[in-house]
Amino acid sequence: MTNEQNGNLTEKNEEKKLAEYKFVISYDAKDKSLSHHEINAKELGEAILGMNNLIEETAKAIGSSIEKVQLKVTTPVKEGSVEVVFALLADPGVALKVLATLGFAAQGAAIAKAALVEMVQKIGNKKITNIAIDGDSEEAKVTTDDGTFVMDKTVAKLIANKRARESLHKIIQAPLIGKPNAVFKVLDKNELPVWTAQEEEINDYKPLPAGTLEEISIDREKINVSFSQINFDSSKGWRIKNKDHEEYPVTMKDKTFLEKVRQNQQAFKKDDLYEIDLEVTTTSRPTRSTIDRVVVEVTRHWASGDRRQV
């Protein structure tokens, strides 16, 4: 037996270990294209890719490896509005929990108090400011700018997940925007309804609002620095060096000081020591944090012969 044959056999054996769960997504509306079983190819392609991304993010949220979860489109788009049939191949426990967490399985109520699609509908476009999970609790408190919601902790992780929310938008809302009497359905393998979103509910499935889980803190301090980089033409392009020889980019907002530098460029020495009023803005996000430093005012200047680090 060749290596290629061995590889194919191994792949088939691995697939045999996985259970197959079929589900269907359905688009309907009083729309000329949908009534003729047609849908925009780009929107449908993004919806299918969005479903794959959503399954992957959910698998990661429940602690499963995404390599052990496979999603396939098992048939072409079907007649009867527009329908797409998916097959999820995974360990039975993982597959059921993934679909139940999303709200795409009839057995979902046994696993999650409220599935992702239900909680997104409740929260809508509200900005999420905090997620709190107490120790080993299976629940999480999700705080928005309009109140607090208690939900399954896995659902909470997904509801603030940018990729998951963008995927839901591409699956549910994007293909039906502007179409009257729009209806989105998830059906089981027997094409019985599992979950339905009507026209007025479909608009709840927007991408994650800007500023979600964003915390901003602003600090002011007076410190002694030297300017390691200057820009005579702009408030940008400046750098400071502190007494620990750490360098940072800054924005120069002291217009009086900037004008003095412009008028007397030859007298300005970047190695001179300055006392500055520094504003530091730290913006914390789930994926990264940014720090912006602004020189509000230059309050004192020591020429190079007089300078000392204090």
Please give the residue range of the domain that contains residue 277: 216-302
At 154 the pLDDT is 92
How far is Cα 17 from Cα 292, in angstroms, rounded to an integer?
52
Q: What is the pLDDT of residues 164-173, one digit of tens each?
A: 999 999 999 9
155 plus 252 within the same structural domain: no
Confidence of residue 266 (pLDDT cuts 50, 70, 90): very low
Query: Are residue 145 and residue 35 in the same domain, yes or no?
Result: yes
For the chain, the average pLDDT equals: 84
Q: Which of 35-39, 187-191, 305-309 has the lowest average pLDDT? A: 305-309
Quote the pLDDT of residue 265: 59
pLDDT score for 37? 67
Distance between CA atoms of residues 153 and 134, nearest Å: 10
Residue 8 forms part of a structural domain: no
Residue 9 lies in a domain: no
**Any idea what the CATH number is for the domain that residue 232 is in?**
2.40.50
Give dist(CA 119, CA 124) in Å, integer: 8
**201 and 254 belong to one structural domain:** no
- Return all residues near 71 (Cβ < 8 A) that are at least 6 apart: 51, 52, 55, 86, 87, 88, 89
**Can you tell me the mean pLDDT for 8-32?**
72
Confidence of residue 310 (pLDDT cuts 50, 70, 90): very low
Find the helix packing angle between 92-102 and 116-123, rounded to 10°.
20
Domain shared by 78 and 125, yes or no: yes
Together in a domain, 99 and 245: no
Q: In the numeric block, which tokens belong to residue 286?
A: 């789930």
Shared domain for 133 and 282, answered yes or no, is no
Q: Compute φ and ψ for 240, nearest 5 degrees.
A: -120, 155
* Per-residue burial over 148-172, b = 16 or more CB atoms within 10 Å of its CB, e = otherwise: ebebbbbbbbbbbbebbbbbbbbbb
pLDDT band at 308 (very low <50, low <70, confident <90, very high): very low
Average pLDDT rounded to a whole number, residues 138-144 = 89
Do 188 and 220 belong to one domain? no
Residue after which a domain boundary falls, among 211, 235, 251: 211
Separation of alpha carbons 120 and 11, rounded Å: 37
Give the range among 67-76, 87-96, 272-281 with minimum mean pLDDT: 67-76
Q: For 71-80, 98-107, 175-184, which range has the lowest pLDDT when averaged over its residues?
A: 71-80
Between residues 262 and 158, which one has the greater pLDDT? Answer: 158
Q: Are the beta carbons of 212 and 124 closer than 8 angstroms?
A: no
Q: Are residues 58 and 143 in the same domain?
A: yes
Number of domains in the chain: 2
With respect to residue 137, please indicate whether it lies within any of the assigned structural domains.
yes
